[in-house]
Chain A
Amino acid sequence: MLFNSGTFIFLFLPVALAGFFLLARIRLLFAAAWLTAASLFFYGWWNPLYVWLLAASITCNFGFGMMLGRAVAEGARGRAKVLLVTALTANLVVLGYYKYANFFLDSVATLTGAPVSLGEIILPLGISFFTFTQIAFLADVYAGKVREYNFIHYGLFVTYFPHLIAGPVLHHAEMMPQFERATTYRFSFENAAVGITIFAIGLFKKVMIADPIGGYARPVFDAASSGVTLTVLEAWGGALAYTFQLYFDFSGYSDMAIGLSRLFGVTLPLNFHSPYKAVNIIEFWRRWHMTLSRFLRDYLYVPLGGNRHGVSRRYINLFVTMLLGGLWHGAGWTFVAWGALHGGYLVVNHGWRALRVRLGDDLKSSTLLGRAAACVVTFAAVVVAWVVFRASDLAAAGAMLKAMAGLNGFVLPDFWLPKWGAFGQWLAAHGVVFGDTRDLVTGGLVNWIWILLVVVWFAPNTQQLLALHRPALALPPDTFSGRFKWSPTVAYATIAAVLVTVSIFNFHRQSEFLYFQF
């Protein structure tokens, strides 16, 4: 079931909310159980068969967590280690089978020429998310940080429908206290108002921005993969369209998840904080898919040694973390290359900062112009990486990047020449070719791009608008800056209603969220 569907908004959500708050009047655990059941129903709507996989995963991991907690409490480190390794292996084997088996076999087949295949394996929705959530839980139990005795609460933590399919990647420590708190189960108009608003913004981002701009990205990437030689303008148009599609799709989903959760009285962690405003790649990863970055840092980078074994080792750890982060996104060489690219970016960024420190430069001092230039460079690097991420294969990515570099020539659509008047004539006189082009780059796309650039670089984000109402957990300090602040007024209620109704009218071109596939 999609958040951007009538079935969800008009049927599932009202029933889930009503059941939750009514049952909470009888007993809080009943409400938690109801929400768990509703979440499983939500998951099963896509494919009922995989509910059993999810239920088995939860049951096994809860069992391992109990045994692990007991072993840790008894000081039996050896037993705990065996249990942890067994549990992690089981989780990774399941994930590996569903997500990576065919990728691995296809790669072997390509290398050896021997066709090996397990046939078509349907990837269970959100398997990466619920596996990682539970791996983090097990690791924390092993470290003695948490223990969980309530199966209903644990089940709800994993299945909780707002985050189940595409995150945020939840941390046990930030969710369980909320499920145990009685106030969570009491209906609050403030939660409703905040939740509705965040959901409305997310829905609008997804339906009215991500989906339409995605319509411009697909033909360009299709053209690249089918061997069409693209011009620099077409390639950049497609790359930027995808850059915005992915951002508004995923941040829209995250907003919806945070808003929906707030309706149930539960506050989720922040997942996006205007990532395209980042002035370097390090900052980008502190703003993009923040809960995944946190997971990779705490459960991969740090266990690999982090920055504790010297500079070279630190860079290797960074690179490996990003490489695996890339593979987490999908079973394909483009994802590996994307991870490697970001790993490389991070290494260069850290190296550059170390050099500046060594040269006596103050990392905290900067000029407006310098920050603007850094923001543009970072954005360009991210766009280049998204091309690799989106392309159907490495050859298509190479073709796109070649075109973006201007190696296929610089041709502008000839119908722009009369529109641009004297400026167009001047460009033509200075070597810019106006020729017959495909309609891959239209006036519509150009308008989308400049408007969305203004939005992602200058507009306040959802949590900044709602900062006074603590919309999410772990808000960065700069959330509270900025002039525009939402308050529960009639005018804002009308705006939220307009966002929702306009989005509903556009459900007919309903599409899935890009991050569902990860």
Chain B
Amino acid sequence: MTASHASRRYTITFAIVCTVVLLPVVVLNFLLGLRSLGDGDAVAAASRWQQATRGVTYAPPLSANRPFKSARLFDRLPEINTVILGSSTMMGITQEMFPDEQKIYNFAQTGNLLSTVIGEAEYLQQSSPQSLKWFFIAFDWALGSPYFPGDAVSQNLAPAAAGTSSGPGLSVAQRLADALSLPRVKNLAGIVAGVARAPQPVSAFRELFLQAAGEPYQCSDGTPARDFDTIFRGTCTGFRFDGSATFGNLEPLSPQRAQTLIASAVVPSSKYAVELIKARGEPNPQLLLRLAALARAIHAAGGGVVLVLPPLLPGMERALQTSVHTAAPLQRTRALLEQWGRSENVTIIDAGASERFGCSVAEFVDEHHALPACYAKIFARFRAARSGRNAMPAGLWSGQG
């Protein structure tokens, strides 16, 4: 065989092997992605199922949960008087942390910026002034959104506007890239292996690739669950009836890992420090003005606003407070918030130093996502402080008294 022929055979073999490996993966994952990336009517179906069963579920994708949460919020509106607003940092707040008379829905959504959260709160306050009394709003200084420039953005949370059936609008290129990513490939391998091992492979294939959802099952605490996504199946991942997250797909942190994460968090280039330093610790005044107006409107309607500085990994806020890069700006944020809270008569739960409330590293899945166990301690102390008082003192409340 000549060198040219050998090279031709080499090139063709290379192309064939790549095609044989990549093409089935792309096609099958693309099919799965049509549902798991937000297409179809999974939002409505998942919402209907949760309303009927009070079980754990979500509509894919897990990271874009606004359509599902909007649908759920509107189903729950007639019976709730308290709403939790913010980003995924607030998703650990559950109904059990509140007194019986306070019925909550946790409307926190992944990646929600403060500017959006204010718009959501304004919409809810205006649309349900009589029923919704309490607003717990995240002030995610550690994620930087209070420092972003620009004004709050008005929101329309009506189911049609919130898009209960539309996907996040991913391009074909994005869907292809997603189809070829290792997590998807691993998931596909697991699915294919599961189908092969199933007693009835054909029906197993149909359930996974063609049916809208898996069969219902029970979480470890007995709550029913159903997976409308094609990943995290059987892990009880998703949102509870009260809107809180189960974090079923995530593992609690180890103390060793926590130390490393904290060390990385305090460097000036970390995501926890960049915006804080850039803004010199001064939250966007436009956002504070809108928050103040919102708080006044809610007070006028007989309700109340509580701002929450979400809990951070034990020791992390202390590390940020002692770092030369972040100490001064963080101090400034706290001073300005204290002043703002007092002047606007708003209580601010300052849970950043979560160790003050007795939270442990194992109650976090990363630097800023606390599990319900940590939030339970924070709210238990908050309830204890509130009991016997007409109102909590305005300004920062760090767990004392």
Contacts and interface: CB of A to CB of B under 8 A. Distances in A.
A190 B7 contact: yes
A503 to B, nearest CB: 10
A109 to B, nearest CB: 17
Interface stretch (A25-33, A90-98, A218-226, A352-360): A218-226
Contact of B17 (A192, A439, A493, A509): A493
Nearest to A442: B256
A438 B13 contact: no
Contacts of B11: 189, 192-193, 196, 493
B264 interface: yes
Contacts of B4: 188-190
A193 B10 contact: yes
A496 B13 CA distance: 10
A226 B323 contact: yes
The 10 closest A-B pairs by CB, nearest first: A497-B17, A488-B10, A508-B181, A223-B263, A493-B13, A439-B256, A189-B7, A438-B259, A193-B7, A222-B264
Nearest to B181: A508
A437 interface: yes
B33 to A, nearest CB: 13
B260 A492 contact: no
Nearest to A438: B259
B339 to A, nearest CB: 28
A511 interface: no
Interface of A (DSSP majority class): helix
Contact of A439 (B7, B177, B254, B266): B254
A6 B176 contact: yes
14 contacts: A189-B10, A190-B7, A192-B7, A193-B6, A222-B267, A223-B260, A226-B264, A226-B319, A439-B259, A490-B9, A497-B21, A500-B14, A504-B180, A508-B183
Nearest to A506: B182
B285 to A, nearest CB: 23
B270 interface: yes
A490 B10 contact: yes
B18 interface: yes
A501 interface: yes
A493 B10 contact: yes
A6 B266 CA distance: 34
Interface in A168-213: 188-190, 192-194, 196
A145 to B, nearest CB: 35
Contacts of B14: 193, 196, 493-494, 496-497, 500
Contacts of A494: 13-14, 17
A501 B18 contact: yes
B260 A438 contact: yes
Interface in B290-329: 319, 323
A6 B173 contact: yes
A450 interface: no
Interface string A465-500: 000000000000000000000011110111011101
B383 to A, nearest CB: 35
